[in-house]
């Protein structure tokens, strides 16, 4: 399954370099980091601890990608509030999961806020023709499944190894599907 994941990420990387709008949005930088880190982990050159560093990059890149959302102070305040609530909840979610939970909530907020703004500012271009729509759908799907996975994982990792493996297997498939959705977004040129 990991090989399929790497192939889909590689396709995202290749097309994000080849397609002008994706190149203009610097999507290739995001996909280079994802592809390199995942390939190096797969080959055993580095371990999964690299995720602690790449998550910072992913969060910052997605904020950059959705930068037009931050025209209002209101949205910046909401983003700060999300991070603060996650830090205050560290006893519940655990220190090792904190950054990933923050990442997921930021993705959900940015994707939903982009969709809200699109719905409120209707124009002649169909929302499904926009690259940001597909990235928002992918981020919402991934973040939702990740958050639903993290809570049971805390309990089942030590109590039910079989269920824990099933949750992770499902999550891996969702991640592959999300990168497929990102690939669809790369081809959306409006």
* Whether this model's pTM surpasses 0.85: yes
Using pLDDT thresholds of 50, 70 and 90, give the confidence band for residue 80: confident
pLDDT value at position 121?
85
Q: How large is the angle between the packed helices 131-159 and 51-65, nearest 10 degrees?
A: 150
- pLDDT confidence band for 58 (50 / 70 / 90): very high
Closest to 58 measured CA to CA, from 92, 94, 25, 33: 33
Q: Compute and round to an integer the Cα radius of gyration of the chain.
A: 17
d(CA 175, CA 110): 18
- Answer with the residue of higher pLDDT: 125 or 32: 32
Domain ranges within the chain, ordered by starting residue:
2-187
Q: Are 115 and 136 in contact (CB under 8 A)?
A: yes
- Compute the mean pLDDT over every residue in the chain, rounded to the nearest whole number: 86
φ, ψ dihedrals at 122, nearest 5°: -65, 140
Segment 82-95 mean pLDDT: 70
Distance CA 3, CA 178 (A): 15
Model confidence at 91, pLDDT cuts 50, 70, 90, reads low
């Amino acid at each position: 399954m990991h090989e399929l994941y790497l192939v889909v990420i590689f396709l995202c990387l290749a097309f994000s370099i080849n397609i002008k709008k994706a190149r203009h949005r610097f999507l290739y930088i995001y996909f280079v980091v994802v592809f390199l880190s995942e390939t190096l982990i797969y080959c055993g050159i580095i371990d999964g601890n690299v995720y602690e560093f790449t998550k910072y990059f992913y969060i910052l890149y997605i904020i950059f990608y959705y930068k037009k959302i931050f025209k209002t102070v209101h949205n910046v305040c909401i983003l700060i509030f999300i991070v603060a609530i996650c830090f205050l909840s560290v006893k519940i979610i655990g220190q090792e999961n904190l950054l990933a939970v923050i990442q997921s909530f930021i993705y959900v907020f940015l994707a939903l806020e982009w969709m809200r703004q699109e719905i409120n500012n209707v124009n002649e271009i169909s929302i499904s023709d926009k690259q940001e729509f597909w990235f928002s759908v992918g981020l919402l799907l991934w973040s939702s499944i990740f958050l639903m996975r993290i809570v049971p994982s805390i309990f089942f990792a030590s109590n039910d190894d079989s269920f824990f493996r099933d949750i992770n297997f499902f999550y891996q498939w969702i991640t592959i599907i999300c990168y497929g959705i990102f690939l669809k977004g790369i081809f959306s040129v409006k």
